[in-house]
Structure 1
Amino acid sequence: MQYRRARLAGGTYFFTVNLADRRRRLLVEHVDVLREVVNTVMHRHPFEIDAFVVMPDHLHAIWTLPSGDADYASRWMLIKAAFSKNVPKGETISASRSAKGERGIWQRRYWEHAIRNDDDFARHVDYIHYNPVKHGYVDLPEVWPYSSIHRYVSAGVVPRGWGGAVGIEGVFGER
């Protein structure tokens, strides 16, 4: 089946990328590998990271691609392949993945959404930053170490304590 994906050159996109086995914690256990892989791909195939959160079994990101470039798929393929090559083996590999030479770490597909406007961008950034609270890992987004919220707080875009006891529970649900 051919999936339709938004392809806007120079566009800004929200992504959700999941591990195949959602019970594993590979992304936080090997977060340094993930950071290195993302930086290497970003250096070779430029894009801007607008927001990012790494959870144990999935990640969310907002990227802006260079003008004239709509190829986020190759970037994700390179990130997923390099991460897979640089973490110890230990996952169960299905016969179909084994036949294709795949490790079986990642779900084959991912979610992407073309950001439409400033409000859409802001809602998705908030969703990314609130995700560790939503999943019950922390009570305050800035406590989670694997998030771009720290950059937003340092720049004064988000106040310290954002997402805590300010009554936003339930606002950032899956859509």
Structure 2
Amino acid sequence: MAGMTRRGWLVAAALLTLLAAILIAMGRPPICPCGTVSLWHGVVQSNQNSQQISDWYSFSHVIHGFLFYGLSRWLMPRAPLWIALAVAIGIEGAWEILENSPIIIDRYREVTMAYGYAGDSVLNSVSDAAFMLLGFLAASRMRWQTTVAVAIAFELFTLFAIRDNLTLNVLMLVSPVEAIKDWQAG
């Protein structure tokens, strides 16, 4: 399978730009309302979580890329890598738009450990999509066993570090468990 082409990179950049434009049109703040831009923000229960370039949830977005790569090879085995990646960016972008809608923001506040969640900055949402892209491209170069091992390592690492990960995030959003919410509150 061939790698990314120039066309693929241009399509990816255009899709990320479109995502940013849609989020701005939705009224999302371009950067953290605190006025700073940081490469990393590691405090989950703070007003800068999901506002900076990367945070603990960046690991989850890399795993999104792993999953989207695997699904694309299963559902579109003959598609060029750049087309599969474009579809993945579209799905990730749709999630970022939905995640920043009032219904999901309120749901996160209600049932997850994100008690004061106000949605993402545009910078964070586009960075989340870029982390997904990174995971997708990494998965395209790794053996599937390595990809699975890295995903499990990321899940265990974030579970240990912040009592949250992609698995718990999805579970709590879809079918909250009070005992898990209490445990996460620590």
TM-score, L = length of structure 1:
0.37
**Greater helix share, 1 or 2?**
2
**Greater strand share, 1 or 2?**
1
